[in-house]
């Protein structure tokens, strides 16, 4: 009990646990665990034969955190920044360190812009975005959607309906804007 010196008794002794649970105590010694101690200096451990890695060629101006001294020798080359979202991203990297909320908020804003830009651009290609297949929502019918959601005391039921709203909102807004624009054009013609 917390109010007296001794630790509360456990229901099962170590011996009982060892028989009930396969492997109980296999890593009992706190000093003999792979992540102990946290830092273990051994530069040869990893098989690196270089003091500093060779540099990967930079094929376009690679955006980087201003907390870095230089472009790291190796980096990912997925999705170079493009469009308006790319401009926001570049600005965010150039202007703000990782310590500033503005850095992350701008990057998040760029992500939202990117989704809209890319979706609009997809309509000019042979693979337009399709919210039905891309959300995988049809699995609701093939993988027990409703019964899974209704089973037991799931506390996330309170916000399940927010997901489709979040996904549908940009489409509904875009659809509305297109409708209004068309109506205006049509109205002008009639006049």
Partner 1 sequence: MRAMVYRGPYRLRVEEKDRPAIEHPNDAIIKVTRAAICGSDLHLYHGMMPDTRVGMTFGHEFVGVVDEIGPSVRNVQPGDRVMVPFNVYCGSCFFCARGLFSNCHNVNPNATAVGGIYGYSHTCGGYDGGQAEYVRVPFADIGPSLIPEWMDDDDAVLLTDALATGYFGAQLGDIVEGDVVVVFGAGPVGLYAAKSAWLMGAGRVIVIDHLDYRLEKASSFAHAETYNFGEYDDIVVHLKKITDHLGADVVIDAVGAEADGNILQHVTAAKLKLQGGSPVALNWAIDSVRKGGTISVMGAYGPMFSAVKFGDALNKGLTLRMNQCPVKRQWPRLFEHIRNGYLKPSDIVTHRIPLEHIAEAYHIFSAKLDGCIKPLIVPNPA
Nearer to partner 1, 152 or 187 (CB): 152
C-alpha 135/C-alpha 151 separation (Å) is 23
Please state whether 47 falls in left (phi above 0), alpha (psi between -120 and 50) or beta.
Answer: left
Nearest CA to 114 out of 92, 90, 82 is that of: 82
DSSP track, 29-45: STTSSTT-SS----TTT
Least Cβ distance, residue 182 to partner 1 (angstroms): 25
Nearer to partner 1, 157 or 184 (CB): 157
Least Cβ distance, residue 103 to partner 1 (angstroms): 8
Q: Crossing angle for the helix pair 101-122 and 162-190, nearest 10 degrees? A: 60
- Asked if the bond preceding 37 is cis, omega within 30° of 0, the reply is yes
Least Cβ distance, residue 184 to partner 1 (angstroms): 28
Least Cβ distance, residue 177 to partner 1 (angstroms): 18
Number of C-alpha atoms within 13 angstroms, CB side, residue 12? 9
Nearer to partner 1, 118 or 186 (CB): 118
Tokens of 106: 């701008």
Nearer to partner 1, 97 or 182 (CB): 97
Contact present, 149 and 164 (Cβ < 8 Å): no
Nearer to partner 1, 143 or 183 (CB): 143
Least Cβ distance, residue 19 to partner 1 (angstroms): 12
């Amino acid at each position: 009990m917390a109010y007296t010196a001794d630790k509360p008794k456990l229901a099962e002794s170590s011996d009982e646990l060892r028989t009930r649970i396969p492997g109980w105590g296999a890593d009992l010694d706190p000093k003999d665990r792979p992540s102990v101690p946290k830092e273990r200096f051994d530069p040869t451990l990893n098989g690196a034969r270089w003091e500093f890695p060779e540099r990967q060629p930079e094929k376009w101006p690679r955006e980087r955190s201003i907390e870095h001294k230089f472009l790291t020798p190796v980096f990912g080359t997925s999705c170079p920044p493009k469009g308006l979202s790319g401009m926001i991203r570049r600005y965010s990297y150039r202007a703000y360190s990782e310590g500033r909320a503005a850095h992350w908020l701008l990057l998040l804003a760029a992500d939202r812009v990117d989704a809209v830009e890319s979706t609009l651009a997809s309509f000019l290609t042979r693979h337009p975005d399709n919210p039905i297949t891309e959300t995988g929502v049809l699995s609701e019918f093939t993988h027990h959607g409703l019964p899974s959601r209704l089973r037991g005391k799931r506390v996330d039921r309170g916000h399940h309906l927010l997901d489709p709203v979040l996904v549908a909102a940009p489409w509904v807004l875009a659809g509305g804007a297109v409708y209004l624009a068309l109506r205006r054009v049509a109205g002008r013609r009639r006049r």
